[in-house]
A and B are shown apart, each in its own frame.
Chain A
Amino acid sequence: MRRQADLKSSILAQVAAEPVPPRSDRRWPALGLAVLVVLAMVALLDAWGGASHAAGRPAAAGAWVLGGICALAVAATLSVLPARRSMLGRPRGLLLAVAFGVPLVVGLWLLLWHTSYADPFARVGYSCLALTSATAPWPFALLVYLSRRFEPRHPASMGAALGSAAGAWAALMVELWCPLADPAHVAVGHVLPLVLLTLLAAGLGSRLFALPKVEPRRP
């Protein structure tokens, strides 16, 4: 009994020695960050030449491609953000499904439209790779902020899934710009950056979401 009391007082003393501020309202900062992210992504698209670059693609095909990627981005985001009344993220299986699924679905969706129209020109895809890489960190930062909590169980999977969801939003911006659906171009310019982003985000996630180490004191 005495040992229990000692343990409690030791823990309470450690807690008192390391003050943490109370919870603050995070809705307005999140909204501000969301506006900043949208502005940054639009500015990047504009810097690359704007949506007029995709003029060679038939309007109907463009609408389908954009609609599909937009639905994927929304679904991926809703799947990876933690439930409203929980401090913990989604089950690992779901996170991994999003992490692996987004690059795969983006690639397959673009290839599906490959036969429906002739590409207006041919490119390897380095510009698309660069635009995706420049655009994705913004939604990733927003998603990390929105899910700003510890993930003791699988931080790397959480990071990978958030990276993949951010990649889906970046893919939407890139599809506004790029009219090409050639398999080699899709692989280099559209799928490869998403895979790289997912891997990078997994590494970041294991640092961002992992529980910080604390040294226990003996009572």
Chain B
Amino acid sequence: MDRYAEGDDSAFGELYDVLAPHLLGFAMNLTRNRTLAEDVLQQTFLQLHRSRARWVRGARVFPYAFSIAHHHFIDSTRREKHERLASTEPPELEEPASEAAPADDELDGKRRLAAVLAQLHTLPEHQRVAFQLVAIEELSIGEAAEALGVTTGNIRIRLHRAREALRHLQDPPPALAQRSKASP
């Protein structure tokens, strides 16, 4: 981004190649809708382009890009909610590609990840986004805090709660497991 801000137009294409897979994955997990995710991606890159003249030398691009993407997700969710209230139609959600529920006790890595991703949507939004940024997109705690505009302590708390919730979902307490087995 620094190269692009300095006037190297070709750097934007390279920036796209590096950033787009991460942003699209992030947006897909947030929206569960390919079209909406692509809109978020497009909006994010256009905003990055608009930041060119005021880009701070040496600033990290990942937290900024993820914060824009998250902002657009919130914005589009609000807009969709308003439209849905007006039209009273149920939302169209696409199942994430990795939604398949694990069948065996011995899950391989991919299946385990798929199970986590499927259960991720049961988490509150603030925990889910923090978990996605740190555990899936591999941002540091500081970068995730920067992207979401909160303190690093807040991110740690969100992550801890998200991990606890996911652990409970994957290994429910014995009483809960027996109850779910008993029910048809």
Contact = CB atoms under 8 A, between A and B. Distances in A.
B74 to A, nearest CB: 9
Interface string B61-76: 0011001101110000
Given A88-B149, A91-B150, A152-B68, A22 B47 contact: no
B42 A10 contact: yes
B184 interface: no
Contact of B54 (A23, A88, A217, A219): A23
Interface stretch (B4-12, B100-108, B111-119, B175-183): B4-12
B13 interface: yes
Interface string A1-31: 0001001101110110010111110000000
Nearest to B17: A8
A185 interface: no
A208 to B, nearest CB: 13
Given A86-B59, A88-B64, A23 B151 contact: no
Interface residues of A, number: 37
Size class of the contact patch on chain B: 35 or more
Interface in A124-145: none
A21 B53 contact: yes
Contact of A86 (B42, B54, B56, B70): B56
Interface in B49-90: 49-60, 63-64, 67-68, 70-72
Main SS at interface, chain A: loop
B137 interface: no
A191 B47 CA distance: 38
Nearest to B41: A7
19 contacts: A4-B20, A11-B42, A15-B12, A20-B50, A22-B7, A22-B52, A23-B52, A23-B54, A84-B56, A84-B58, A85-B59, A87-B51, A87-B55, A87-B59, A149-B51, A152-B68, A153-B149, A216-B39, A219-B38
